[in-house]
């Protein structure tokens, strides 16, 4: 594999977290997700973490500007200088543009965006199964389909954005974890 500054893109249930962990293990770079970044900043009580906490405590989405500042704090840390696997960030084209600017300030670029493609019916099946296994009663079919629609509206435009930057690789997300991992590995070469 040659790319070490990577974004995994895909809808909920596509297997981004699983594939991100496999990449982290093989590349020795950190997995960076929006939730992890926000929780770490809040826990460390950084100024931007305290700002994020005010939104989180009120049950509101953390605004893009705050998420970007948290991302900058995280990506500037020593362990991310040699590479990273982004998972769940950016979620919108505006966040992607801000990420480009912040990586430029840090003296690096995103080397590859791997979009894991899975059809909606398979995603719904996976998420319903996961909800059953984990006992998540809030993950019913209606809620899952609502999240899929939100992903389609807000996040799927990132596929075209990264295709336009010539860093996109699309992989089939159907198959065993190992089969998908092999496709991701080939996409990073």
Active-site residue set: 16, 91, 130, 136, 147
Cα pseudo-dihedral 168, 174, 148, 151, rounded to 10:
-10
How is residue 154 annotated by DSSP? I
Helix (H, G, I), strand (E, B) or coil at 85: strand
- The Cα 189–Cα 187 span in angstroms is 6
List of E strands, the chain: 5-9, 31-33, 84-87, 112-117, 168-172
- Sign of the torsion angle spanned by Cα atoms 185, 11, 8, 170: positive
Distances (CA, A) of 66 to 8, 44, 114: 21, 15, 25
Report residue 118: phi and psi, to 5°.
-145, 135
């Amino acid at each position: 594999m040659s790319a070490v500054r990577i974004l995994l893109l895909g809808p909920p249930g596509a297997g981004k977290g699983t594939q991100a962990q496999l990449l982290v293990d093989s590349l020795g770079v950190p997995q960076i997700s929006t939730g992890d970044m926000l929780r770490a900043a809040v826990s460390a009580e950084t100024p931007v973490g305290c700002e994020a906490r005010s939104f989180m405590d009120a049950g509101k989405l953390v605004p893009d500007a705050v998420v970007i500042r948290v991302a900058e704090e995280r990506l500037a840390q020593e362990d991310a200088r040699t590479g990273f696997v982004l998972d769940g960030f950016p979620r919108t084209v505006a966040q992607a543009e801000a990420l480009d600017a912040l990586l430029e300030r840090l003296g690096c670029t995103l080397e590859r965006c791997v979009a894991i493609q899975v059809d909606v019916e398979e995603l719904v099946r996976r998420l319903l199964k996961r909800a059953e296994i984990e006992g998540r009663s809030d993950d019913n079919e209606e809620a899952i389909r609502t999240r899929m629609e939100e992903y389609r509206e807000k996040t799927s435009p990132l596929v075209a954005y990264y295709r336009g930057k010539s860093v996109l690789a699309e992989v089939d997300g159907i198959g065993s974890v190992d089969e998908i991992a092999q496709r991701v590995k080939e996409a990073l070469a």
